[in-house]
Amino acid sequence: MKNITEIENEIIEEFSFFDNWEEKYEYIIDFGKNLKPMDAAYKTDENKVAGCVSQVWLHSDYRDGRVTFEADSDAIITKGLVGLLVKVLSGQKPADVANAELAFIDKIGMKEHLSPTRSNGLVNMIKHMKRASAAYASISN
């Protein structure tokens, strides 16, 4: 399986073909629309990541030394970005997730969605992913 950096680089390369922001956003929107719907059983209050404007649900699991994520959002752009994060981080080693810098978000021109003022749940989702992974990592040690 590819590591985090390798998957990030693939995404960055894909985005490098786009000429303008519209194409990038259309890709994110389509990615969000085509994302496998999250199992309704996982859409619990416990898995809800608070955001003022849009909300995110995040479910994490740990098996055979790997952490897996499923996520969803009520806003489609957020959902697309959430999907990209899952693509990059799900199935990786917990220590790698906990330490991931996720520079690809900036490199594909989506950094503004990580601004705390956006209150879209994305920043909190990354925090939750890392915290869960750090906890799994400490179990596995």
Partner 1 sequence: MMFDAEKIRKDFPILDVHVNGKRLVYLDNAATTQKPKRVIDALVKYYSEENSNVHRGVHFLSDKATTLYENSRKTIAEFINAGKPEELIFVRGTTEAINLVASSYGEVSVGTGDEVIVSHLEHHSNIVPWQILCERKGASLKVIPVNDSGELDIEAYRKLLSSRTKIVAVNQISNSLGTVNPVREIIRQAHDAGAVVLIDGAQAVQHSNVDVRELDADFYAFSGHKMYGPTGIGILYGKEKLLDSMPPYQGGGDMIKNVSFEKTTYNELPYKFEAGTPDISGAIVLSEAVKYIKEIGIENIAGHERELLEYGTSKLSEIDGFRLVGNAKEKASVISFLLDGIHPYDTGAILDKTGIAVRTGLHCTEPLMKRFGIPGTVRASIAMYNTKEEIDALVNGVIKAKKMLS
Is 52 an active-site residue?
yes
Region binding partner 1 by CB under 8 A among candidate stretches 3-11, 25-33, 40-48, 94-102 = 25-33
List the beta bridge partners of residue 72: 57
Among 75, 88, 89, 129, binds partner 1 (CB under 8 A): 75
Residue 107 or 113 with smaller CB distance to partner 1: 113
Which of the 8 DSSP states describes residue 92?
Answer: B
Q: Token pair 């959902």 is at which residue? A: 79
Which has the closest alpha carbon to 93: 70, 121, 63, 72?
63
Site for partner 1 in 99-128 (CB under 8 A): 112-113, 119-120
Task: Catalytic residue, from 9, 21, 30, 52: name it.
Answer: 52
Q: What are phi and psi of 47, to 5 degrees?
A: -90, 0
Angular region, 67: left φ>0, alpha ψ -120 to 50, beta rest: beta
Residues that bind partner 1 (CB under 8 A): 21-22, 25-26, 29, 52-55, 74-78, 112-113, 119-120
| Residues forming the active site | 52
